[in-house]
Amino acid sequence: MQKLSRENNLPTPGTTHPKLGVQDDLSADMDHTLYGLTGEVEDASDDEDDYVVRLVEEVYVVDHCQGQTPASTMQWDEVKVLGHEYLYAAPHGTKSMAEDMQNSIVSDFELNEEQERAFRLLAEHASSPQPVPLRMYMGGMGGTGKSRVVKAIVEYFARRGEAYRFVVLGPTGSVAAMLSGSTYHSVFKIPRDTKSKNSDDVDGLNSEATSLANVNERLHGVEQLKHETFTMFHLED
């Protein structure tokens, strides 16, 4: 039987713990600090230091308050034990993982203070489970580093394995190409010839409906659009 106690070394946050196997008892005090367990949790111990968890899968331990705290110095009320399926169910990952990723991107892209502020605002928004729509204007003279922030946020989504959530649009092919984006004509299927949009033109209406369906399909999963060079829209708008 393996026991989790204050004396034991807990796994480092962000690493998987080997299977604990079948365990028997658990202090009732742990109930409120545990969630996402894949197995049963039983209360059969009076000893508050003997926290034993019955699991059927690996567990994941994260410090949700201070991502960098060494596991051995964690307090029990700072620790949450999660079933590993939680990681797959939570599309935005954990807070400490998001922070680590943000820090490494700020460093890799050598963002200056203002760039970092803009980047973190976007990244935090992207990491929020149910964010309110973000409408952000990022202005500045040519060459002040706006594109670098966009590249950093694109990289942030890519490292999270969520590149599909962010689309960069530009008014022309050359602008779009600079940021590896697309033209909004292409993404929104804006027809070059709009003359055929009258109510008698059944084919025209059909093709418009088809275009909208295509656009919806293409933007499935996308939550944010970067519209070079003015605004960022939230798709629910």
Ligand X SMILES: Nc1ncnc2c1ncn2[C@@H]1O[C@H](COP(=O)(O)OP(=O)(O)OP(=O)(O)O)[C@@H](O)[C@H]1O
> What is the binding site for ligand X (CB under 6 A)?
110-112, 115, 140, 142-148
Q: Which is nearer to ligand X, 141 or 202 (CB)?
A: 141
Residue 112: CB minimum distance to ligand X, A: 4
Residue 17: CB minimum distance to ligand X, A: 39
Q: Which is nearer to ligand X, 87 or 175 (CB)?
A: 175
Residue 181: CB minimum distance to ligand X, A: 12
Q: Which is nearer to ligand X, 77 or 110 (CB)?
A: 110
CA distance 21 to 1: 8
CA distance 115 to 102: 12
Question: Residue type at 45?
Answer: S
Positive/negative CA dihedral, 60, 61, 63, 67: negative
CA distance 168 to 160: 17
Q: Which is nearer to ligand X, 8 or 112 (CB)?
A: 112
Q: Which is nearer to ligand X, 35 or 230 (CB)?
A: 230
Q: Where are the beta strands (DSSP E) in the chain?
A: 16-17, 59-63, 79-83, 136-137, 166-170, 182-183, 224-227, 231-234
Query: In this structure, are residues 167 and 181 in contact, taking their beta carbons and an 8 Å threshold?
Result: yes
Residue 108: CB minimum distance to ligand X, A: 11
Residue 27: CB minimum distance to ligand X, A: 51
Determine the 3-state secondary structure of 154 from DSSP: helix
Residue 187's nearest CA partner among 166, 156, 159 is 166
